Amino acid sequence: MATQETKQAQRTVKLGSTGPEVFPLGLGCMGMSGMYGATDDAESVRTIQTAIDRGVTLIDTGDFYGMGHNEMLVGRAIAGRRERVQVSVKFGALRGPDGSWMGMDMRPAAVKTFAAYSLKRLGVDVIDIYRPARLDPAVPIEDTIGAIAELVKAGYVRHIGLSEMGVETIRRAHRVHPIVDLQIEYAVSTRGPEAAIFPVLHELGISATLYGVLSRGLLTGSKPKGKGDFRAWLPRFTGADGEKNQDSVAALQRFARERGMTPGQLAIAWVLARQPAFVPVVGAKTVAQLDDALGALSRPLSKEDAAALESLVNISGERYGAEQMHHLDSERR
């Protein structure tokens, strides 16, 4: 007997006009490398493999997550399953031995160096979707995309994506080489891309992979766990904004209970209802979290319920700290 997820696997979403067909939910692996506190590598591998076995095809990582740890983890998990997945890799963030963040490097030579190391750590011959993590203001986007296009021509990359880029940058990049998707934060609590970015994506035939659909766990009531959890520095989790946001979180939780859903399923279902042509990327760290996320596929949200939820959720605070917000091309007006 087919499971609900098996049935859902028969419905795929195409990434852009030239990209691959993927399962309607992707798995984001950043949280498996310490960004949200302690993790367990064995459980992380089980989670990735369970996701693949249940139909998930898009696995998202970054070469700077855990300074290479995440790519090696994903490489272990997809060994023997490579033909069943599309691996999306963000690159370009510079980090020190102490874990500090030191900016971006999107020069063509750096792009090719980053790709070489990613191929090695992942244990693959080709990266399915390769994307600059942020815009490097010192390097024209045409140079960065041109370097990736050369990697496509050489057979090391299949498709090119973007991450957190603004309208003008998206247009310029797409003129150099077809872009299959933009990765950007989007949730019932983070709706900024609706105004200008999503219309341009539809115009150009570019898809989106949507991260932060749970607002980094805020919408499910999760809170920072220990000093290694970078959410402890995010405005939405701290200070007056953090306290104020608990009212919206409580309202969302009540709304979910009334409909027989978990808060996570409700948050995911809202994104699926509002942006059915795009793909939410869920950062599950455990099999239990993965099970919960997949459950959203069998609990679609009506337009009326989606609108009702929007009226209940009013999240205060920027999604990143001031310094990081300053470097987000997607936030430029």
> What is the rounded distance in angstroms from the CA atom of residue 50 to the CA atom of residue 32?
15
Tell me the Cα Rg of the chain. 19
Contact 303, 273 (CB under 8 A): yes
Residue type (1 letter), 94: L
Q: Is there a contact between 311 and 280 (Cβ–Cβ < 8 Å)?
A: no
The active-site residue out of 65, 156, 186, 211 is 65
Judge whether 177 and 169 are in contact, CB under 8 Å: no
Judging by DSSP bridges, how do beta strands 86-91 and 207-211 pair with one another? unpaired
Q: Are 137 and 166 in contact (CB under 8 A)?
A: no
- Cβ(209)–Cβ(161) below 8 Å: yes
Are 24 and 54 in contact by the 8 Å Cβ rule? The answer is: no
Q: Give the span between the Cα atoms of 110 and 144, in whole angstroms.
A: 9
36 is catalytic: no
Residues in the chain: 333
* Active site residues per annotation: 65
